[in-house]
Chains A and B, each alone.
Chain A
């Protein structure tokens, strides 16, 4: 009897007092729950603007050739308004997501779209007109920029940044917002859309992360993202983050 009693503390088969284990489990659960909720709260608070890229604004201005208009004269409208006498029947607009073919950009370091700015058409026409002369002087450098360059693009500093600028330019092309939104509201509209982009450039998911409070604006930004897709395949180093964590698009009018 005494032998059994003396052996009890070392035997694995003997039950230990249960209070200790319960205490441990309880505190473990509490700590986990606390950590988890802290993380959740932090995530909720910092859902928007986790990192602001603070990109350099891409600016392009059209410079008109020829002599400027006399300041004493009344201004002229450069683009003639459409003939308003007979309004043409508006064509049925395309379905929300027309299949679009965007030439996937070669990822392997394209030449920066440095000089491709205004007047591409003009350049074409001129090329046709003076093709004969061009042939005579073959040494002219190619100044039309990269094939996937944006007409408003500058020379991108970094590849990643260039891709984001490309995304932005592509979405901006489809960024149509209704004129009916009053001016007073326009200045304070902000919506965030979280998008996940596959390595091939497909739009995997788009979710309205933060509503602007205006249904028309919200639906306009969602439409812009959906119509702009598919995008060019992201560069190698962005494929993983873009397909896992995505990117947040913050829209202002």
Chain B
């Protein structure tokens, strides 16, 4: 009797046990195919600003690195298709390969521009996100960056980089001017004009831009805070270059020429209380960049013969470690806000300047650009996922953006010119 019971009990289990389990891993991670149709303008006022909104929004989505924005020419859906899940023919979007669909409606109300964005999963037809935002009528790009950030956050649960700001240098005549604009270089306003102004950095709070200027003859550091004129930050008799704000914004590091070499200093954010960090009288130490925790600095030094990257501990500047051992001309380091990588420019054996990252812990060097002209001066986005840089691959020096892995390289939509040393700030 007991045996019968047991066999009765085990019979169904025996059949279950016959389905083996196969483990499958090694997914190919690829950008999400997303459809971004033209925004729907609900009235005439909206129709006039829609193109500008669309320019910014479409570029943000394309440059994000996590999306594959599908070509609009391939879209099969009716352009007058509805705005709610029940009125959208999702099969038409699935047919062009879209896995997500984002729709925007714009309307103008007085002096306000009202935008509504909805995000749908194409396979299920589910509405994933609905967002309404109002901006002044003359700032459609601001609305676009707001929506792009929301979209980015929806998928990655990380803050998006599109409402941040970019400082850069543009050659004008014989001089070089510093500008501060949106992250994509648009809506840029001059920070310093006339003479030669270089190496801008945006303060961590986003309220100031420091830069190196030759306006007194020798290079010195200046700072321009929001709504006021540029004032000297560090003007000793010697040549001072390349300010870098600590992540908390309380200190700056810079390089000052002394004798035959140049040494690193750290000072309060107003330039007071300068302390030397390096002491190599016959060698040049320059281009400091802070680690995200503010405890370490990466910099360039030629103490071993060629310019290489080094890392020192700010509290104990004697604690110096060489970081790069490959290549013989490594410069312009920028420490990722995520902490793990430092991006830099290096000259390879073909005498081309290209961008690389080095892992701070392992020292592993990864190449990001290759065979595309000269690529220089990388700067990480505030979330560490994108890198802006200058490249002359199309002729003049233009500003470009790519992912931190070197994928999805795109030129910023700025007018043609000669640009250099971008700095991506908050």
Contacts and interface: CB of A to CB of B under 8 A. Distances in A.
A72 interface: yes
B356 A253 contact: no
Contacts of B65: 179
Contacts of A85: 393-394, 411
A74 B19 contact: no
B156 A180 contact: yes
A48 interface: yes
Contacts of A71: 326
B339 to A, nearest CB: 14
B13 A39 contact: yes
B399 interface: no
A50 B21 contact: yes
Interface in B281-335: 325-327
B389 to A, nearest CB: 12
Interface stretch (A3-11, A121-129, A134-142, A169-177): A169-177
A18 interface: no
B30 interface: yes
Given A35-B8, A71-B326, A220 B21 contact: no
Nearest to B408: A84
A172 to B, nearest CB: 6
Given A42-B13, A46-B16, A73-B349, A81 B68 contact: no
B205 interface: no
Given A92-B97, A177-B27, A179-B32, A75 B366 contact: yes
Contacts of A25: none
Nearest to B402: A84
B366 A50 contact: no
A248 B365 CA distance: 40
A112 B15 CA distance: 31
Given A175-B28, A176-B30, A252-B25, A94 B370 contact: no
Interface in A57-106: 71-77, 80-81, 83-85, 87, 89-96
A4 B310 CA distance: 115
- Indicate the size class of the contact surface on chain A: 35 or more
A90 B68 contact: yes
B383 to A, nearest CB: 11
A168 B367 contact: no
B266 to A, nearest CB: 30
B367 A52 contact: no
A81 B370 contact: yes
A245 interface: yes
Contact of B97 (A84, A93, A177): A93
A51 B21 contact: yes
Contact of A80 (B62, B94, B371): B371
Nearest to A193: B24
Contacts of A115: none
A53 B348 CA distance: 48
A171 B346 CA distance: 41
A167 interface: yes
A71 B70 CA distance: 41
Q: In the complex, which of the residues B22, B67, B74, B369 has the most CB atoms of chain A within 10 Å of its own CB atom?
A: B22
B26 A49 contact: no
B22 A96 contact: no
A182 interface: yes
Interface string B17-51: 11111111111111111000000000000000000
Given A35-B9, A176-B30, A247-B20, 18 more contacts: A43-B16, A46-B13, A50-B18, A52-B21, A74-B326, A75-B367, A76-B367, A76-B370, A77-B370, A80-B370, A80-B371, A84-B410, A95-B94, A167-B22, A168-B24, A172-B26, A184-B157, A249-B21
24 contacts: A35-B8, A38-B9, A46-B16, A49-B21, A50-B18, A50-B20, A51-B17, A53-B23, A74-B346, A74-B365, A74-B367, A85-B393, A85-B411, A90-B97, A95-B94, A171-B24, A172-B24, A179-B29, A185-B157, A216-B99, A219-B121, A244-B18, A245-B16, A251-B25
Interface of B: 5, 8-9, 12-13, 15-33, 62, 65-68, 70-71, 73-74, 94-97, 99, 121, 123-124, 155-158, 325-327, 346, 348-349, 354, 356, 365-367, 369-372, 393-394, 406-411
Ranked 9 nearest A-B pairs via Cβ: A93-B97, A180-B155, A89-B71, A84-B409, A177-B27, A178-B32, A74-B327, A252-B25, A245-B18
